[in-house]
Amino acid sequence: MFLLKKSIPFLMLLLIVSCSKEEGAKTTTIIPEKKVEPIQPENTGPTIQDQVFTLSENPTIGTSIGTVLASDQEADPLTFTIDSEQYLTINATSGELQVSQDTTLFDFETVQELEFEITVSDAEFENSAIITLNLEDEEDGPLTNYQKEVIYQFKYMLLYYESQNPEAYYESIYKREGGLQLFLDGNVTDEFEQNVAATLETYNALFTDGMEITIVSTLEEANVHVYHGPVEAIKDLWPFHYDYIVSNGFDGYAAGYQLDNGDYKNTLWVNATNTVLFSHELGHLLALSHSDLCYEPKRSMMCASSLPAEPLPLDYDILRYLYHPDVYLGMPATDIDEVLTNIMLNLPSSKTQKVFKTKHEGNYMKNLMTY
């Protein structure tokens, strides 16, 4: 802070002289001047005004938007913060705004103006202002950013299973046919059974290609053996899974495998009544691998760890499109963008379904060991 200039006091001595008639002597008394301390100015706090920035839609992560301006009368160091870092981040020292991890919001077809609250502090006082971000339109096709993200995650979960690497992926779509029949085993509490039933009701409402998941009363009727309970309970039941589960510390596990007679069987184990954990494992049996959409506050139910409190709308949309009549078993990966775009825009399918060889299903099921 600026200080008032300190004046050098002029030293004054006040001499008081008195005369004594009797003694005729003089006495002198010296009274020192009082020292005056300089007055310190009050801290007025930082100043920030509402500001407007412009950004082209569909930016990349880290795109610089501009610098928020603020000032302080005492020239104190300032610290900038933003109300949420889901979409924007701000440099605490310089005030530079950048696009954060979630770029789906910056879609001109969805929204044209966004507002964020910025706070600036001098360590004693703080003030806030509203930053308005105007989006500029670009020629980027008929889909919204959210729809584009759904297509990206669809391909990520359906094609890039083995290595999660776009350079090594399945060349065609695998999806279940004929339905899933679940037998519930282990610690089948009312809460667990209700959670499973609610999940199946939600999933079945998404399917429009005849796919259906049901609960059956005997293991013989089932093609999915669901077990709820502690991991030690499956040591003898599924010894071929047990060691792998324990060594990795999993809370749930799902796997599909082919029997000697050619039939396909599936196992699904969870150690808790958590609805999202069950949804995650069932997602694997419906052909979904893991997602890379695993940052706060936007986490897919198909994250490999730290599951969200509930699935994202995107998770449901991926299942909705996968089990749509226009997305067929064995559909070439190269057709995904066009087919999903047509579904999203309610356009007729331009692709002809082809007979799919069971070799692909066998190879897929052989490799389908998920968690």
- What proportion of the chain, given as a percentage, has pLDDT over 70? 79
Domain presence at residue 181 = yes
Contact 241, 357 (CB under 8 A): no
Q: What pLDDT is attached to residue 336?
A: 93
pLDDT digits (tens, 9 = 90+) for 279-332: 999 999 999 999 988 887 789 999 988 899 999 999 999 999 999 999 999 999
Tell me, what CATH number does 314's domain have? 3.40.390.10
Domain presence at residue 19 = no
Q: Quick one: 325 and 232 in the same domain?
A: yes
pLDDT(120) > 70: yes
Tell me, what CATH number does 117's domain have? 2.60.40.60
Q: Quick one: 293 and 205 in the same domain?
A: yes
Contact 302, 283 (CB under 8 A): yes
pLDDT digits (tens, 9 = 90+) for 36-78: 666 667 888 899 999 999 999 989 999 999 999 999 999 999 9
106 burial type by CB count under 10 A (0-12 exposed, 13-18 middle, 19+ buried): buried
Q: What pLDDT is attached to residue 370?
A: 46
pLDDT(15) > 60: no
Please tell me the distance from the alpha carbon of residue 89 to that of residue 64, in angstroms, as a whole number. 10
Residue 254: φ, ψ to 5°? -135, 140
Q: Quick one: 118 and 154 in the same domain?
A: no
Domain presence at residue 25 = no
Please tell me the distance from the alpha carbon of residue 197 to that of residue 213, in angstroms, as a whole number. 10
Which residue range is the domain that position 86 belongs to?
A: 46-136
Q: Quick one: 296 and 314 in the same domain?
A: yes
Beta strands 14-19 and 26-31, pairing class? antiparallel
Q: Quick one: 149 and 132 in the same domain?
A: no
pLDDT(369) > 70: no
Average pLDDT, the chain: 84
Q: Quick one: 186 and 119 in the same domain?
A: no
pLDDT(34) > 50: yes
Q: Quick one: 299 and 344 in the same domain?
A: yes
pLDDT(182) > 60: yes
Please tell me the distance from the alpha carbon of residue 329 to that of residue 309, in angstroms, as a whole number. 31
Domain presence at residue 6 = no
Number of domains in the chain: 2
Q: Quick one: 218 and 357 in the same domain?
A: yes
Cis peptide bond prior to 297, omega within 30° of 0: yes
Give the C-alpha distances (Å, rounded to integers) separating 86 from 56, 58, 93, 104, 298.
Answer: 18, 15, 19, 11, 9
Domain presence at residue 22 = no
- Which two tokens mark 62? 């880290």
Instruction: Pick the last residue of a domain from 87, 103, 136.
Output: 136
Q: Quick one: 285 and 311 in the same domain?
A: yes
Domain presence at residue 4 = no
Instruction: Pick the last residue of a domain from 83, 114, 136.
Output: 136
Q: Quick one: 151 and 286 in the same domain?
A: yes
For residue 235, give the amino acid letter: K
Domain presence at residue 312 = yes
Q: What pLDDT is attached to residue 111?
A: 86
Instruction: Pick the last residue of a domain from 82, 114, 136.
Output: 136
Domain presence at residue 23 = no
Q: Quick one: 244 and 362 in the same domain?
A: yes
Q: Quick one: 280 and 154 in the same domain?
A: yes
